[in-house]
Amino acid sequence: MKTAHDLVEQARSHIQEVSLADAEAAIQAADLLIDVREADEYHQGHIASALNIPRGLLEFKLSGTPELGARDLNILLYCKTSGRAALAAASLQEMGYLRVKSIAGGFDAWHEAGLPIVKPSLPSFE
């Protein structure tokens, strides 16, 4: 029986991961940067310009949104540590998307490197 780790490693063997050193250039080149973490994770901080589509909804959202249906979109994905993004990238490739990559190390590596993040501020009610 395969574990979640086995599935992630299998997915990684079929996808392209972008190193953290190359991530900023990959973001600039991407048509779409997708954060596949859950909404609460996204709202705690995310990479600027990232669209939040949680992993569990990704295939449905892309299939149901005509402007995201072009299979030649340059899509860059990330999650917390890169496991969910690897699974998502493999799934999008299976759907026929031709230019899908994920950021190695995910949001945690990005944040630990001191790269910029967007943190929504909550209004003060005082």
Kindly report the CATH number assigned to the domain that includes residue 33: 3.40.250.10
Q: What φ, ψ does residue 101 adopt, rounded to 5°? A: -140, 160
- Residue 117 placed within a domain: no
Q: In terms of residue numbers, what domain contains 67?
A: 4-112
- Residue 37 placed within a domain: yes
- Residue 122 placed within a domain: no
pLDDT in tens, 18-55: 999 999 999 999 999 999 999 999 999 999 999 999 99
Query: pTM of the prediction?
Result: 0.92
Environment class of 111 (CB within 10 Å of its CB; exposed 0-12, middle 13-18, buried 19+):
middle
Q: What is the pLDDT of residue 121?
A: 73
- Residue 126 placed within a domain: no
- Number of separate domains in the chain: 1
- Residue 51 placed within a domain: yes
Two structure tokens written together for 105: 């190390």
